[in-house]
Amino acid sequence: MQSWWKTLTVGMLLAATLGAQADEQAAQELNALLRNIDDAEAHFTQHIIDTRGVRGKEFTGIMRVRRPGDFRWDTQTPYAQTIVTNGHKVWIYDPDLNQVIIESLDRQVGNTPALLLSSDETTIDHNFEVTQEKVSVSGESSYLLKPRNKDAMFEAMRIKFMQGVIEEMQLKDAMGQKTRIQFQRVHYHAHVDAAVFHFTPPKDAEIVQQ
């Protein structure tokens, strides 16, 4: 009995060790892929699927990223909205309301998962458990990120790449809703003007600090 128990225990420890190594390797591979998004521009489509499986409105716009920290998300249809971050604060500008909301980056990632694309490598390592998923499409790679913080605003995030280029992000929040973002016309090394990532609220805009 003792021999059987020792064998089982050693097997469990070995499996746990291999799992930890696999997660570490997945995180390293994901960070390597994200590192390529050093100065990028892409068009996006985004929609939400509610808990009944009903698909919501489709939003379209342009994303610009300069790692680490700089990010701009311009929604163009069905209405305009701008999200800009310098890696610490996030400015959300709604022209129709003439309102600017200022939040910390951590709070806004749950609403705009693509913000994670501009984060440095320590953000991934410290805040998420990363596993690489099996895929059936040649050239595609997929990574599942689960927050280490149990109080996070979302349960899981999936990031997909095709031939090493960002293709899609999916997010499942704590209420069971799913957000899907698809990227098109992706350009790495786009030499985005630094001024794009500087945001000054309009003088007459309402400022809301959160």
pLDDT given at position 110: 53
Q: Name the β-bridge partners of 94.
A: 99
- Closest-CA residue to 135 (of 157, 160, 172): 160
Residue 55: other Cβ atoms inside 10 A: 11
According to CATH, the topology of domain 2-209 is outer membrane lipoprotein receptor (LolB), chain A (2.50.20)
pLDDT given at position 96: 93
pLDDT given at position 91: 92
pLDDT given at position 38: 85
Residue 84: other Cβ atoms inside 10 A: 21
What phi-psi label fits residue 28: left (phi over 0), alpha (psi between -120 and 50 degrees) or beta?
A: alpha
pLDDT given at position 87: 76
pLDDT given at position 18: 35
Do 133 and 126 contact (CB within 8 A), yes or no?
Answer: no
Q: Mean pLDDT of successive 10-residue segments in the chain (210 residues)?
A: 45 40 78 88 94 91 90 94 87 94 70 71 80 89 87 84 94 87 94 91 89
Q: What is the DSSP string of 156-196?
A: EEEEEEETTEEEEEEEEETTS-EEEEEEEEEESS----GGG
pTM over 0.85: no
The two tokens of residue 95 are 């022209």
- Classify 40 as helix, strand or coil: strand
